[in-house]
Copies of this chain bind each other. A is one copy, B any other.
Amino acid sequence: AVGVMRPFGARAISIEALKPSDSFQRRHNSPTLEEQKVMAEACGFESMDALIDATVPKSIRRPDLDMSKYGEGLTESQMLAHFKALASKNKVMKSYIGMGYYDTHVPTVILRNILENPGWYTQYTPYQAEIAQGRLESLLNFQTMITDLTGMPMSNASLLDEGTAAAEAMTMCSNVARGRKKTFLVADNCHPQTIEVCRTRADGLGLKVVVADYKKFDYSSKDVSGVLVQYPATDGSVHDYSDFIKNAHAHGVKVVMATDLLSLTVLTPPGELGADMVVGSAQRFGVPMGYGGPHAAFLATSQEYKRLMPGRIIGMSIDATGKPCLRMAMQTREQHIRRDKATSNICTAQALLANMAAMYAVYHGPEGLKTIANRVHGLAAVFSAGASKLGLETGSAPFFDTVKVMVGEGKAEKIAKDAASHGANLRVYDSKSVTLSFDETTTIGDVNTLFKVFAGGKNVDFSAEEIASGVESRLPSSLERTSAYLTHPVFNQYHSEHELLRYLHRLQAKDLSLVHSMIPLGSCTMKLNATTEMIPVTWPELANLHPFAPEDQVQGYQQMFEELGDLLCEITGFDSMSLQPNAGAAGEYAGLMVIRAYHHARGDTHRNVCIIPVSAHGTNPASAAMCGMKIVTVGTDALGNVDIAELKKAAEAHKDNLAALMVTYPSTHGVYEEGIDEICNIIHQYGGQVYMDGANMNAQVGLTSPGHIGADVCHLNLHKTFCIPHGGGGPGMGPIGVKKHLAPFLPSHPVVGTGGFPRPEKTQPLGPISAAPYGSALILPISYSYIAMMGNKGLTDASKLAILNANYMAKRLEDHYPVLFRGVNGTCAHEFIIDLRKFKDTAGIEAEDVAKRLMDYGYHAPTMSWPVSGTLMIEPTESESKAELDRFCDALISIREEIAAIESGEAGRDDNVLKGAPHPASVVIAEEWTKPYSREVAAFPASWVRASKFWPTTGRVDNVFGDRNLVCTNPSVEVIDEKMAAAA
């Protein structure tokens, strides 16, 4: 008989088995339970938990995380469904608000192949130039685009937002005047947030911002270092500043112009008008508004001020074979080297967005951009003409994209409401006028809708189509751009999708990112940036909102902010969070400004001393300097811990003026200092506030917390612990958490009132420290999703695994390299330092040689020579599997053997496989091979490289040459192209 039924299995169904099967934790936390056990045992502990107990001081252990709503953690599909519901509470309207933020068509080929592509978004800042030539080229394109459009000789790449870019320019003006002139004049035709960010910044720096009509600027005090004007102005009018600039210069005053890149395709560029510095945002070049960010801002100036330039500068140099290559130039200006004397505290900036904007220019080309500009202007002009026909006054000033309409006293709010009911957001300029900014996405149909709005909802008897041909350009003819721009081939050959696609992929192929291998950069937490976390970022409901959109249209965002505030408070032990700072260093600055405001509010205006250990990250002193604080340095002891005796002495010495301590926890040496509670107590005892640098938060979550430890403020690098990808040098987010007493002072915003989440009872806010009220709001979903998917246990396990992974690696390496600094039980935190200093003597080998040799093994070097010169700091994160940790250790052990060969005399001190590293294909395939080691040893030093080789594109880059011969602008790209073809 066929198919006879047999009795069923007796197994019962368990509820556990019915739970959704796509849980996220095991995708993020790489090591399996079995691997955890093996690794813990290798470290001499019977379990991961035993290792953790021995590592994290008992005194600071916190109770278990309790994020009730997301305690269990959502699965990936639940997360996306939840976020879709949240996002759908936002309403996407047509935005005419302007004020530095414009809707734009993100070219889909750029959207998919940069913004949604881990090959572009998971890279780190291109410190290791030999494996970063792709994005270095793209960032040079960005600089070229900025210099061409602004008419200035050099630009950086890039700054955080237009407001802070203006503040940086203000600082530069002050520095040009060697600090002797304290006044900075800001034209009242600048965007309000730009003005207020400058005010806040001036406050900290002890400068004075005076806001006035630029035509009435008064230089008679002789105290004016610089001025800021906007071009086109915030109300849309285009002013010819030529004479104004001559006059300022005659008074020895520097002129900063805030500008709009698109307008510069048709308007005389600031450089030709005589500006000294030019700032602005590249947002409208294909970067979504994102409810405020992230976007790349820029600062362009003349080479004269190059040593005062804030932020990254990409420049040419040559490699070991004499071929042209790119790398970050003049790093000696930067915080990681110059500390409180640095030109700025910028570390993480907006590289990914700068790349997007640059590629937008590459894709459209000069003609394409001009077409867009003329179209935008045409729509604005037609609208203005139509408004006149409707009897409304729009003024006679020339404009580019923004039209001001006088609607009658007291009627501005009403017309804005009417417009909103037609799906359009206007800017209420004042009680009697509105402005409308047109952009790439505006259609002629939209203009007709606006006519209807301004006709009080009635149909009008003309249409935009009908009146267009009778409308004249409203651009000022005296300011018509005549000079060429974007003439370099890179902007003129990739206009079809195939060409751009391949250009993007050619560049991508040159850059090592997390899609290739682990990037164990100590202090940078290069963990998984999960796809599910990234997906909502490019949803239109999140991406296409103006930061100043009315509150009822942004309920999804607001709910997310509130929930995220709660979650981060639970995680950090704080009472309120500000989501405004858009980088870690911006968080430091914001946090210190909060502390300052607190002291001032209590009348303690004299409290201005900030104690910072020598081991601190460069951004700490740089940020403290921006708040006008006096920095007192304290040393560390032999174990790498803060020297508590010295700290105590310093605190006591400065007890009357003590403002704050800045301390990183676990320490930048990778150790949970046992004395941390005592340190906090000392500072508090002397009236200071404890600022904790949260860069190492990945070693705390679920185990301890800044609040629990005793800190008063802390920034979180959401781009580290909370999974925002590093984007090749940004974006990032640096929200700050504070204790209750500081919550009232959290930054607000002149356009959109804001403050801490959860909202404190009392508020007495700082001015804004970023241009947008919620910083780079668009990337907050990444951190929110991470937290919600991981849940209490997932997050805590992540911290444990980060620590376990580091200890396992330290264990595997300790017989080969000295491991510097450990905790009392011989363990390290989530990162550790291996000491290479002795090899200088024994083999003539330096940390850089090891870093470069790692590239031949397919790896990005750990953090080099920071916080201790001559060392490497390794941070594996929880997202790396044991197999990957082992491979990386194998690489380092193999390199140790290569060093041993030098030590033994088997290999020469000057010509060996480390000094020769990295080895690009061009070198190992060259006809001539004169090295004392083989080509195979050079290129294939490990089995995994044979199976899949990542090639460095250049030989070792010569940094000194590049700084001596600074080339970071347009003509250089041509030279590169030429030399590059000959090179490789």
Contacting B at CB under 8 A, from A913-944, are 921-922, 924-927, 934-936, 939-940, 943-944
Whether the pair A475, B9 counts as a contact (CB closer than 8 A) is yes
Residue A22 CB within 8 A of the other chain: yes
CB-CB under 8 A for A948 and B506, given A2-B241, A476-B5, A530-B497 = yes
Whether the pair A927, B921 counts as a contact (CB closer than 8 A) is no
Whether the pair A12, B516 counts as a contact (CB closer than 8 A) is no
Whether the pair B473, A502 counts as a contact (CB closer than 8 A) is no
Choose, from A123-131, A366-374, A714-722, A819-827, the stretch at the interface: A366-374
CB-CB under 8 A for A505 and B516, given A9-B472, A372-B21 = yes
Whether the pair B440, A381 counts as a contact (CB closer than 8 A) is no
Interchain CB contact (< 8 A) of A497 among B11, B243, B531, B884: B531
Whether the pair A2, B215 counts as a contact (CB closer than 8 A) is yes
CB-CB under 8 A for A472 and B947, given A76-B105, A116-B112 = no
Residue A108 CB within 8 A of the other chain: yes
Choose, from A23-31, A404-412, A588-596, the stretch at the interface: A23-31
What sequence of 0s and 1s flags, for each residue 1-40 of chain A, a beta carbon within 8 Å of any chain B beta carbon?
1111111111111110111111000111110100000000
Choose, from A45-53, A462-470, A862-870, the stretch at the interface: A462-470
Whether the pair A12, B470 counts as a contact (CB closer than 8 A) is yes
Which residues of chain B are near A493, meaning CB under 8 Å?
881, 883
Whether the pair A7, B477 counts as a contact (CB closer than 8 A) is yes
Residue A382 CB within 8 A of the other chain: yes
Whether the pair B473, A9 counts as a contact (CB closer than 8 A) is yes
Whether the pair B3, A239 counts as a contact (CB closer than 8 A) is yes
Whether the pair A12, B469 counts as a contact (CB closer than 8 A) is yes
Whether the pair A981, B243 counts as a contact (CB closer than 8 A) is no
Which residues of chain B are near A8, meaning CB under 8 Å?
398, 472-477
CB-CB under 8 A for A9 and B480, given A515-B501, A530-B497 = yes
Interface residues on A, range: 35 or more
Whether the pair B29, A496 counts as a contact (CB closer than 8 A) is yes
CB-CB under 8 A for A947 and B981, given A9-B473, A397-B5, A936-B926 = yes
Shortest A573–chain B CB gap in Å is 29
Residue A113 CB within 8 A of the other chain: yes
Whether the pair B21, A375 counts as a contact (CB closer than 8 A) is yes
CB-CB under 8 A for A927 and B922, given A11-B472, A375-B17, A498-B881 = no
Residue A118 CB within 8 A of the other chain: yes
A107 and B22 CA atoms in complex are apart in Å by 8
Residue of chain B at shortest CB distance from A937: B927
Shortest A92–chain B CB gap in Å is 11
Which residues of chain B are near A239, meaning CB under 8 Å?
2-3
CB-CB under 8 A for A112 and B946, given A3-B215, A497-B28 = no
Shortest A438–chain B CB gap in Å is 10
Residue A417 CB within 8 A of the other chain: no
Residue A331 CB within 8 A of the other chain: no
Residue A650 CB within 8 A of the other chain: no
Which residues of chain B are near A112, meaning CB under 8 Å?
116, 118, 531, 534-535
CB-CB under 8 A for A943 and B981, given A76-B105, A921-B949 = yes
Whether the pair A76, B927 counts as a contact (CB closer than 8 A) is no
Shortest A9–chain B CB gap in Å is 4
Interchain CB contact (< 8 A) of A13 among B14, B240, B378: B378
Whether the pair A879, B21 counts as a contact (CB closer than 8 A) is no
Which residues of chain B are near A464, meaning CB under 8 Å?
18
Contacting B at CB under 8 A, from A864-917, are 879-881, 883-884
Residue A965 CB within 8 A of the other chain: no
Whether the pair B501, A6 counts as a contact (CB closer than 8 A) is no
Residue A77 CB within 8 A of the other chain: yes
Interchain CB contact (< 8 A) of A925 among B468, B532, B939, B983: B939
Shortest A357–chain B CB gap in Å is 16
Residue A362 CB within 8 A of the other chain: no
Which residues of chain B are near A949, meaning CB under 8 Å?
921, 951, 984
Interchain CB contact (< 8 A) of A927 among B934, B981, B984: B934
A-B contact pairs, 13 of them (CB 8 A): A3-B240, A6-B477, A6-B478, A8-B398, A10-B472, A10-B473, A30-B496, A77-B105, A497-B530, A499-B884, A502-B517, A921-B949, A946-B982
List the 5 closest A-B pairs by CB distance, nearest first. A6-B478, A2-B244, A30-B496, A108-B531, A3-B239
**Given pairs A3-B241, A21-B440, A22-B105, 11 additional interface contacts (CB within 8 A):** A8-B474, A10-B472, A12-B473, A13-B378, A26-B495, A77-B105, A108-B535, A112-B118, A498-B528, A509-B948, A921-B939
